[in-house]
Amino acid sequence: MSNNGSGSSKENQFVLWFEKIGMDDLPLVGGKSASLGEMYRKLTLYGIKIPNGFAVTVEGYYHFLRSAGIQDKIKQIIKGLDTHDIRDLQRRGKKIRQLICSRDLPLDLQKAIVANYRKLERQYGGNVDVAVRSSGTAEDLPGASFAGQHDTYLNIRGPEALLNACQRCFASLFTDRAISYRKDKHFSHFSIGLSIAIQKMVRSDIASSGVMFSIDTESGHKDMVLINAAYGLGEGIVQGAVNPDEFYVHKPTLIKNYRPIVSKTLGTKRTKMVYATGRKSIKYVPVMVRDQKKFSVTDDEVLQLARWAVIIEEHYSREANTFRPMDMEWAKDGETGELFILQARPETVVSQRDGNVLEQFILLKKGKHLVSGAPVGVRIGIGRANVIKNVKSATNFAKGDVLVTHMTDPDWEPYMKLASAIVTNEGGRTSHAAIISRELGIPAVVGADGATSKIKHGQTVTVSCSEGEIGHVYAGKLPFRIDRTNLKEIKRPDKTEIKMIFGTPELAFHTSQIPNDGVGLAREEFIISSYIKIHPMALVKYPRLKDKKAKKEIDRLTRGYDDKKQYYVDKLAYGVATIASAFYPKEVIVRLADFRSNEYSELIGGREFEPEERNPMIGWRGASRYYDPSYRPAFNLECKALKKVRYEMGLDNIHVMVPFCRTVEEGKKVIQAMADNGLHQKTNGLEIYMMCEIPSNVILADLFAQIFDGFSIGSNDLTQLTLGLDRDSGLIAHVGDENDEAVKRMIADVIRVAKKYNRKIGICGQAPSDFPEFAKFLVDHGIDSISLNPDAILKTTVALAEM
């Protein structure tokens, strides 16, 4: 053992200064303390800031037990305990904690703690504020994170308060939830020790703080850093008392020095945890409304935190000699403006999943909608709603109930493990409720505002986390199915690429795990209608907008944006970037917005800018809009968004596709309009494709091939226009069939021309999935790729492999 701390060698067994903890000392300190010690010695070399402090070692804990002579009494109290008997668990746990707190810490341990606290005072000033963090020796193990099982105390000042907090930390080894958790995970109560990290507080109470993961906590996507941020001390996020801001950063392009914040979501952040005086050291206070409407950290700070997350992940992966995604807490000091890492530990849930098994929960029917919030996991749970306002009143909780409450903390865990699902009013995806529900493998909807009042106690509910970015709670017992696929058993076609038709950013990280060769058609329409919701020209012409109702709604949606046009650019960029980053580095072909005029008019403020057309299906749509002076300012915004994704975020795997391009001249005009906005064909590898969906595209394929880099056959429109159909007319829908000989000749001809001019060619549509003979026809003619909806990928992949 090294002899680097203050005091004697014997005292060094009990208290060790962070910066001097050696590798030989690490067995003496628990998971978090070990992380702090090792991080302090190594990661500060990378410029990562970590608050200074010291650790009370596991040996200090055992020294206390021996000195107090209480271990046999604890064993006697806990003997014969049934953790499912909640009242008995509470009675015995309280008795053990009272026993521990009734004994004084050994004098030599007290002296060592106080001596090191005085050392902190010499560095930071008298009565220095510290965080006192418990750290169990069994924490952060695969399948057993022990998250939040033991207590942490913030803003502790003075030797007496510090010694008292340390004693309460030792007692927290026997909280009801920790006893129950150890029993369920088959850990001996006496093989686990506890160390304590005493750490200089970062003044995030007057700034912001949060939690971050170097992996997507829902899908397990390895290329993402997820950052949650809110005002005040970070314990507010961990406890789930705050709905935080959320950011996703793409690691592969971050390390290339781009700025790849691919997603930003503003949290409500109604309250924050701050310092208090008197008996309580911390308290919650309201956040001013103007601050709720702003992000709690800047983009530069998000990127700095993400860089540190990558460094920390790489460091621990090297130490473990295996990929080791990390769970980290961070804080910003409101006095200095500096960022700090408070702790780092391995992520122990999503990283342990079997990546070869794809599990999909599919809701077969929807019922009356009750509430919605952020989903945790992708599963569906059904049960009797047990609405509980306070954990102390939670006595009649049955196995299989759905736990509905304001928020959870570790005291709720004996009930959480019985639940079929969890719903909370507050909290984000890094809150306590989210972390524990992931570990238990049950669905949770967190931040479901008003859940405890909108869901009636005793009613049967269905909790669905299977529908993307939003989790829903429905009344009643709804039917669903579970599809499980062993991806190892999926054979891939040799010559034909299988790509996706995709347009829903919130599903991108999960969906990208289905075997695929990229995205052959990334639609912008869902992003515009669901995320942006506003007609782009209504933002361009905002000062002169006549529709007062639309203007009021625009003000609400674009709050925080002085330049309304930038709202459109940012929102579209984040949507496209989320999809591009999920599939990176595979090709993602983004089709330019292809709404028809009747669809555009339904967007907020759209009626002022759209004509009334008798047949908008073949009216003012696609390429004809992009160079038209009436729409060109809106197209410029679209180009700026795509430029931001490629050149600011570094996602150069996206390429652009022009829809409904009637003539070669139109194609040239669109390519020039893109170049005018900084999207130059061939520069930085940018390729521009065209949808082949009009007979003129096939007839003049040789001329189109001279200006575009490839074709994607839009079989729906090509069938409609080849056979003279109106796709919206049900009277003649039976005639529309891609297997019609006229349509097949069109397709065969354009494939031949594409091959002659060495242009890529694919097809987008469900026909290859619905008609195996049509898929065989495409393969026989040498199609390069087939793009399908995600639910048809696996079936078609298998069929083509067999061909």
Instruction: Give the residue numbers marked as catalytic.
Output: 432, 764
Measured distance CA(520)–CA(588) in Å, rounded = 6
Q: What is the CA radius of gyration of the chain?
A: 30
Measured distance CA(621)–CA(738) in Å, rounded = 23
CB atoms < 10 A from the CB of 458, how many?
A: 10
Tokens representing residue 412 in the block: 């709720």
Shortest CA distance to 101 belongs to which of 151, 139, 145?
Answer: 151
CB atoms < 10 A from the CB of 552, how many?
A: 10
Shortest CA distance to 296 belongs to which of 248, 264, 328, 263?
Answer: 264
Cα-Cα-Cα-Cα dihedral sign, residues 62, 67, 73, 77: negative
**Which residues are paired to 375 by β-bridges?**
445
Position of tokens 């570990």? 439
Measured distance CA(361)–CA(466) in Å, rounded = 6
Shortest CA distance to 384 belongs to which of 463, 445, 442?
Answer: 463
Tokens representing residue 525 in the block: 């329409």
341: helix, strand or coil: strand
Beta-carbon contacts of residue 55 (< 8 Å; ≥ 6 apart): 15, 16, 18, 21, 29, 33, 36, 37, 135, 195, 196, 197, 198
Pairing of strands 444-446, 421-424: parallel
Question: Residue 638 to residues 47, 622, 688: CA-CA distances in angstroms?
Answer: 38, 13, 15
Measured distance CA(51)–CA(418) in Å, rounded = 38
Shortest CA distance to 400 belongs to which of 424, 376, 384?
Answer: 384
Residue 640 one-letter amino acid: K
DSSP states of 523-535 as a string?
ESHHIIIIII-B-
In angstroms, the first-to-last Cα distance of the chain is: 66
Q: Write 671-675 long-range contacts (CB < 8 A, 24+).
A: 671/707, 672/627, 673/626, 673/627, 673/632, 673/635, 673/636, 673/639, 674/639
DSSP states of 347-370 as a string?
--SGGGS-TTEEEEEEE-----EE
Instruction: Tell me the backbone φ, ψ of residue 198, rounded to 5 degrees.
Output: -105, 115
Position of tokens 């674009």? 558
Q: Write 225-228 long-range contacts (CB < 8 A, 24+).
A: 225/249, 225/251, 225/254, 225/305, 225/306, 225/309, 225/310, 226/429, 226/430, 227/302, 227/305, 227/306, 227/309, 228/267, 228/428, 228/429, 228/430
CA 88, distance to chain mean position in Å, is: 39
Cα-Cα-Cα-Cα dihedral sign, residues 282, 288, 293, 297: negative
Question: Residue 411 to residues 109, 169, 283: CA-CA distances in angstroms?
Answer: 29, 15, 19
Q: CA torsion 707→709→713→714, rounded to 10°?
A: -80
